[in-house]
Structures are given as C-alpha cells and as structure tokens.
Amino acid sequence: MSDTAVIVLAAGKGTRMKSRRAKVLHELCGVPMLGHVLRNAKALAPSRLIVVIGKDAEEVRARFDEDVEFVLQAEQRGTGHAVLVAEPTLGPVIGDVLVLYGDTPLLRPETIERMSEVKDESGADLVMLTARAENIPGRVLRADDGRIVRVIEASDATPAELEIEERNTGVYLFGAQLLRDGLASLEPDNEQGELYLTDVVGYAVEKGLRVEGLEITDADECLGINTRKELADAARVLRGRIVQSLMDEGVSFIDPDSVYVDADVRIGQDSLIEPGVVISGRSILGEGVHVKAGSVIEDSEVGDDVTIGPSAHLRPGNVVGRGVKIGNFVELKNSTLGPGTKAAHLGYIGDADVGADVNFSCGAIVVNYDGYKKTRSTIGDGAFIGCNSNLVSPVEIAPHAFVAAGSTITKDVAEDALAVARGRQKNIEGWVARREGRQVGGSGTGESDVESTHSTQGKSD
C-alpha cells in the first residue's frame, strides 16, 4: 500500500479515562494504544503517516518521534474537522487515504490489506469497514440491493434506524480526490454542530460514486477505548493473540489465560511457561526456557535451557546465559550471569558481572547500594558463594574462589582463595542452666572456642 497515505485521529480528550495522561498513551501489553495503531499502519508501508493530536499534544509528540507527521487540532469539532485539519499536510497525494483512530489498537494489518483488495477488485471510490458490535454507535443504512446509502450517528437516528445491526467502525479507505471533495462539502447540520466524516459517505452516494462495505467477523478488531474497562477488555484480547502466536511458534503454556506477556516479548521454541507468570517489556527468552509459576521477568535477555522460579523476579537489565538456574525467591537486577551459574533460592544479585558455573548458596546477597550510589561487583568463573554471605560492592571475587557461609566480604578475594569474614564461634557451657537457676553438671564453668574448617563453606545448592 505504498501509494496510500494514512491519517490517524488521536486528538480526543479521553475524559472518561479520568487520567492525567493523554488517552492514547495508556498502555496495552507494554505498548501505548497509539503505538499499536502506528505499528499496524507502518506495516502497510504508507506514503505518508499523519497523526492528528489535540489534548496533551506535546506529551504525545515526545513519546512518538519516528517517521510520524503531527498535526494539531486545537479545537475538536468532530472527525470530519480532524481530517480537514490534516488535509493540507497530505500534499499532492493522488492514491488512497486510510483513516484510522488512535484509540482503536486491535485492528489487524491483514484487515486493512483486505480493504485495499476490495477497493481494487470492485473499483470502489470508498471502502468502509463495518461490524456487528453493540458498542459502536454509527448505523450503516443499505438500500434494498445491498448498496450502502448512508451512515447514521446514533444521536441522529430514528427508533427504526437504531434497530440496524450493522455498524460503522469509522475506518475508511478513500480515494484521495473523493476525500478532498467530500471534506469541502461538510456542514455542521447536526445536534452537536460538528463536522462528521461519515457525511462524506453520503456525499459519495449523492455523486453516484461507488461505496463498498467490508464487514469483519471479529468485532474485537474495532474495539474503541474510552474507559478503563474498555482498556482492560482490549488488553485481554491482545494478550490472547500474543499467547496464541507464541504457541503457534512452539511455546507451551500450561494455563494460557493466567499469564501476562507483553507485545514486544520474544520466546524461543520448546519453552514452557507455567501459570501466573508475567513477562514484560522487551524481554527475550531463548529456546527450552522453563519459567515456573509466579515468576516475573522485566526487560531481560535469557539464554537457552534456563530455569527460572518459582516466584523469581528478574528486574530490568539482566543478561542470563545458557543453562542458568534461578530458583525460588531469587531477585536479579541489571546483572549478567554466565552459562551454568546457579542461584537456587533466597538471594539477590544486583549490578553484578557473574562468570560461568558460579554457585550462589541460599541467602547470598550482592550488596550494590551504599545509601548514596550503586556500584558493581565481579564474580569469576567457578566461584562459590556460601550461604548468607554478603558481597559489598564494589568487590571482585576471582575465579574458583570460595566465600565461607555467613561472611560479609568487603575486599577482593584472590583466585583459589577461601574468604572467611565472621567472628569465631564461642560455646559457653552451662550458660542456660545457670540462667534458669538449675544445677550445672560437670565443671559448669568451662568455655571452649570452636572453629570447624569444614563449616566454612556452608554449601547449599
């Protein structure tokens, strides 16, 4: 559709969203609703892509600055007025003009392509998209021979016309000249005193031009968003599409309805996603990844054959190597983990560069924040971090070094060294009995210091 220009109407106030943000910036599956519309439009390779903005114009401009021409509709006087404002920016377009809406993000590019095919096959001057959906107010009036005669807004319809089931989605594919002539003919002769784009349909019929309607069977495609509930409804539909597409590509979901996967997420084949998982942002998961129940992955890259969870949390910025194991209640943040590394349970790894085949035992923490700034630590290949150890950044643990359980490490540890940073154990015999006023057996006053070399590792896997 390279000879087609696209106009996206995104100037609505969105008062029913009750929000401080522009309506079209509210997200579905990690992408603003206007972002979905622009992606679908760009998939058609249009000659021009024009977005009409109004309320919160600067906020919208700042969010979308790639290959988009913005036009300001300072005063909102209807859809016809919005397109009229955009018309000068079209320039000498001689092909077709597609009109889309910034709050209708579920329309598929394939449907728009079909509109173009219908226009070419029928020789129509205008193709409009219709659907049988109760939430769309505009009725499509057809003559006895099936020709489209008029589009009627609900507020202007008679009781008989309100019974019409076929509705106008507002998506149009105009011949450029028809659009120009039709816009010039618009008059605000309705209760709202607005310029309706739908009146261009009546203009085309009046001039004897051919108007075709393409009725879509999936009414969800034309779901417009004006309220928080409609936003949630649209997100639910989109999540279903995302999960279905991933299953078609070889990903397994135990309970597809219970997971939340964003639009920009990529998952390799033979991966398994358990219930209650959230994968957001631009996360990339390799092949054979097993994400267990209740885990959250945000903007992270995960290699092949990795196991995550249950109830693990990957915050943004992680790169996880092949065969890594991230266990229950382990949190990662802005860290790299080499192949084969394990953090099996109850730990935090933040701002760390971790080599291959490192073991983080239960309760091990990389302490990356000192109350003023965050710093990084490095843990070399094959290192072993014992239970309940703290690595206070910035610190370097060299390859094959061991950190004893319960140690707080503040200095670098050399290769093959054992680091022990804790007080010596002291057992005071008979202390409990004396405290409780009981007879103490034996000497009753003996004290002993205990330090077991085999206890320094505190191994846990």
What are the structural domain ranges in the chain?
Answer: 4-222, 251-426
Contact 211, 175 (CB under 8 A): no
User: Can you tell me the distance from the alpha carbon of 226 to that of 15, in angstroms, rounded to the nearest whole number?
Assistant: 8
Confidence of residue 2 (pLDDT cuts 50, 70, 90): low
Residue 213 burial (C-beta neighbours within 10 Å; 0-12, 13-18, 19+): buried
Coil, strand or helix: which one is 449?
strand
**What is the model's pTM?**
0.89
Q: What percentage of residues in the chain have a pLDDT greater than 70?
A: 95
User: Selecting from 2.160.10.10, 2.60.40.10, 2.40.50.140, 3.10.20.340, what CATH number does the domain 251-426 have?
Assistant: 2.160.10.10
Instruction: State residue 445's pLDDT score.
Output: 46
User: Can you tell me the distance from the alpha carbon of 405 to that of 458, in angstroms, rounded to the nearest whole number?
Assistant: 5
Fold identical between 4-222 and 251-426? Answer: no
User: Can you tell me the distance from the alpha carbon of 221 to that of 243, in angstroms, rounded to the nearest whole number?
Assistant: 17
Catalytic residue among 36, 81, 345, 400: 345
Question: 57: which residues sit within 8 A by CB, 6+ positions away?
Answer: 70, 72
Mean pLDDT of 342-349: 96
Instruction: State residue 458's pLDDT score.
Output: 54
Q: What is the pLDDT of residues 253-277, one digit of tens each?
A: 999 999 999 999 999 999 999 999 9
Coil, strand or helix: which one is 248?
helix
Coil, strand or helix: which one is 168?
strand
**pLDDT of 157 strictly over 90:** no
Instruction: State residue 461's pLDDT score.
Output: 58
Instruction: State residue 135's pLDDT score.
Output: 78
**pLDDT of 237 strictly over 60:** yes
Mark whether 345 is an active-site residue. yes
User: Can you tell me the distance from the alpha carbon of 81 to that of 12, in angstroms, rounded to the nearest whole number?
Assistant: 12
Lowest-confidence pick of 14-23, 306-315, 388-397: 14-23
Where are any strands of DSSP class E within 21-65? 27-28, 31-32, 48-53
What kind of fold does domain 4-222 have according to CATH? Spore Coat Polysaccharide Biosynthesis Protein SpsA; Chain A (3.90.550)
Instruction: State residue 444's pLDDT score.
Output: 45
**pLDDT of 417 strictly over 50:** yes
Mean pLDDT of the chain: 92
Sign for the CA dihedral angle at 125, 131, 136, 140 comes to: positive
